[in-house]
Each structure stands twice: as C-alpha cells, then as structure tokens.
Structure 1
C-alpha cells in the first residue's frame, strides 16, 4: 500500500534556491561572487562535526 511517488514540476513552477556563505567574516549570496571567488567556493572542502561525546568511529576489537 506504500507507493513512492515523485513530484514533478514544470520549469515555470520551480523556485531558484539562493545559496549564501560566509566570506571574510560576513555572509553573502554566492550569486554575487566574482569569477575568482566562485572558483574558490567550488574548491572548498566541507566537513561534518560530531556532537561532544559521540565517537568518531566504531572502536576496533583487539587482535587475538
């Protein structure tokens, strides 16, 4: 009874998503960047921070 359905939108019905990022201590929309800053934004590395007390990875068992 559970069917997966996908919503389909016409291009005219879509809303453009504006992406903001922090640059030099303040937030700016990526669309307002110059060519060099856009290239730098594309090369950035992203990371996920674990909450305090959460192990980074499962502990390994000692070898017998």
Structure 2
C-alpha cells in the first residue's frame, strides 16, 4: 500500500464534500443508519467497537 504524502494533500471546501452513508447489520440484514428510528440511532451511537487479537 502506498503512503499518502500529506505535503501535497488537497483540502476540500464544504461545498465540494458529499455525505457519507453509513450502513450496519440490523436484525440479519444491512440498512443505512440514517433510516434508523431514534431508539435504534441511540443504540448505534452507544456501541463499543473492539479488535480481536489473532489466535496463535
């Protein structure tokens, strides 16, 4: 993988940006988070992410 040279990075203006849609698996199927009801959105923000170590 190539490393990005931050010296030549291009900053986007707000009007050049577009919304990023986040999807997650809920009740066995994938759905965009933006379509969740208020309770499910709250539950999603409280989730704790973890990284499992490789088994030896």
Q: What TM-score does the superposition give when structure 2 sets the normalisation length?
A: 0.76
Q: For 2:38, which of 23, 35, 40 is the aligned residue?
A: 35
Gaps of 5+ in 2: none
Q: Considering only aligned residues, what root-mean-square deviation do their CA atoms show, in Å?
A: 1.8
What are structure 1's unaligned runs of at least 5 residues? 54-64
Which residue in 2 is equivalent to 1:7?
Answer: 10
Q: CA deviation at 1:11?
A: 1.2
The 1:52–1:3 alpha-carbon spacing in structure 2 relative to 1, beyond 3 Å, is closer
Q: Which has the higher contact order (CA 8 A, sep 6+)?
A: 2
Q: Give, in whole Å, the separation in 2 of the partners of 1:46 and 1:10.
A: 31
- Structure-1-length-normalised TM-score: 0.68
**Normalized per residue, which structure has more helix?**
2
Distance 2:22 2:13 in 1: 22
- Greater Rg by CA: 1
